[in-house]
């Protein structure tokens, strides 16, 4: 079960311990299209820690999925990582820069299947179409855990049951095409969790599911997070979910992180005008209600027409003339969050 939270206790979320599982620095992933370069990710700095959930927030098109896919190096052409590093720290303490790992390398393949699992909104991406669901999960379990075939089968049925698949022993024998969309989504989540990854990247995994199943799956993720000390990166538009499950939050806008910090600081005292606008109708912590991100004045600019300087300035009520259009603000520490905004920077004051 997700931990119970005290609504106004800013000290309830302890700071992260130890080194991050993943340390992303200056990550850029660009698409080289016929019309120009789409800077989908344009200088992201992020850390994901074991036993913590980092939620990524931001409007559609701000680069959340491409950032997540960059970690596993599954960005489709014409997308390419053009700068930055994604340092992953393995169980043995060894680090590897995934941004620079060769595409076909064994190291990358091993990490993908074993250490880092990803669940998507679209289940067919990760389920093989011509093998029965149960067999796919059993194979994953056998690959990653020292159990017998029979035990693997039992674990598989148990996990199918846990993700809310009725009659799991029967469904074990089903092919993906025989299941409804919702059931396939659950089967994919079961498969991702069955390999007991150290890091789970979940890109809007429950958006298509009904509220009860969504809650069950979030509980299961939270349970496994505690049990396995798994790190979780969860991309969601649902602020209620963020309030419920996140320790850490990062807010993205046009390919950059504009603010990040622990969930209480971000919800109670957001510093960036974009975060403030996003959270205007924030659900009360402790009593989360389902709420989608509210609309913000204007629209996200076309990716090929990025404003100069701070990309949010064209929608920002507090933009500073002759400051915000000139340079891109860097993330700086401000109380308990980090924020990229000239309102909080000495540069803007002319120091």
The secondary structure of residue 176, as a DSSP letter, is G
Nearer to ligand ATP, 91 or 304 (CB): 304
Residue 134 near ligand ATP by CB under 6 A: no
Secondary structure of 283-313 as H, E, C letters: CCCCCCCCCCCCCCCCCCCCCCCCCCCCCCH
Separation CA 199–CA 201 (nearest Å)? 7
CB-based contacts of 150: which residues, under 8 Å, 6+ apart?
none
Residues 56-95 contacting ligand ATP, CB under 6 A: 58, 60-66, 76, 79
Residue 275 near Mg ion by CB under 5 A: no
The secondary structure of residue 273, as a DSSP letter, is H
- Could you tell me the smallest distance in angstroms from the CB atom of residue 98 to ligand ATP? 17
Separation CA 51–CA 57 (nearest Å)? 20
Tokens, residue 342? 């000239």
Q: Sketch the per residue contact string, 210 through 239, with Mg ion: x for CB under 5 A, - otherwise.
A: ------------------------------
Residue 33 near ligand ATP by CB under 6 A: yes
Which neighbouring-strand residues pair with 54?
233, 248
- Could you tell me the smallest distance in angstroms from the CB atom of residue 281 to ligand ATP? 18
Residue 120 near ligand ATP by CB under 6 A: no
Residue 4 near ligand ATP by CB under 6 A: no
Nearer to ligand ATP, 66 or 277 (CB): 66
From 31-39, 88-96, 167-175, 331-339, span contacting ligand ATP (CB under 6 A): 31-39
Residues 299-318 contacting ligand ATP, CB under 6 A: 303
Contacting residue, 28, 29, 53, 65, with Mg ion by CB under 5 A: 65
Tokens, residue 92? 């043995």
- Strand 36-48's sheet: what is its strand order? 36-48, 22-33, 79-89, 95-97
User: Scanning the structure block, which residue is given the tokens 């960059």?
Assistant: 70
Interacting residue ranges for ligand ATP, rule: CB under 6 A: 31, 33, 38, 40, 58, 60-66, 76, 79, 303
């Amino acid at each position: 079960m997700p931990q119970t939270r005290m609504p106004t206790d800013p000290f309830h979320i302890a700071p992260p311990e130890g080194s991050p599982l993943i340390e992303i620095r200056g990550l850029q992933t660009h698409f080289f299209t016929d019309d120009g370069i789409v800077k989908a990710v344009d200088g992201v700095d992020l850390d994901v820690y074991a036993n913590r959930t980092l939620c990524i927030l931001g409007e559609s098109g701000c680069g959340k999925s491409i950032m997540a896919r960059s970690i596993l190096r599954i960005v489709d052409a014409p997308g390419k990582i053009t700068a930055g590093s994604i340092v992953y720290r393995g169980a043995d303490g060894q680090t590897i820069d995934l941004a620079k790992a060769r595409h076909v390398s064994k190291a990358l393949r091993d990490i993908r299947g074993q250490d880092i699992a990803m669940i998507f909104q679209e289940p067919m991406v990760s389920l093989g179409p011509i093998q029965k669901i149960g067999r796919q999960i059993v194979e994953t379990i056998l690959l990653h855990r020292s159990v017998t075939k029979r035990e693997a089968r039992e674990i598989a049925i148990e996990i199918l049951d846990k993700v809310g698949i009725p009659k799991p022993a029967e469904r074990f024998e089903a092919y993906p095409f025989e299941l409804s969309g919702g059931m396939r989504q659950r089967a994919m989540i079961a498969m991702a969790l069955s390999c007991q990854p150290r890091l789970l990247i979940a890109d809007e995994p429950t958006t298509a599911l009904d509220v009860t199943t969504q809650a069950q799956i979030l509980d299961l993720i939270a349970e496994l997070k505690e049990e396995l000390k798994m790190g979780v990166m969860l991309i969601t538009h649902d602020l209620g979910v963020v309030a419920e499950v996140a320790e850490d939050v990062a807010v993205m806008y046009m390919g950059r992180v504009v603010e990040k910090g622990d969930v209480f600081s971000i919800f109670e005292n957001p510093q960036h005008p974009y975060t403030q606008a996003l959270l205007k109708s924030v659900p009360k912590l402790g009593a989360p209600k389902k709420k989608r991100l509210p609309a913000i004045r204007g629209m996200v600019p076309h990716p090929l027409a990025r404003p100069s300087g701070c990309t949010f300035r064209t929608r920002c009520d507090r933009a500073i003339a002759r400051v915000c259009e000139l340079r891109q603000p860097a993330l700086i520490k401000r109380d308990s969050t980090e924020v990229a905004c000239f309102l909080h920077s000495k540069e803007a004051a002319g120091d």
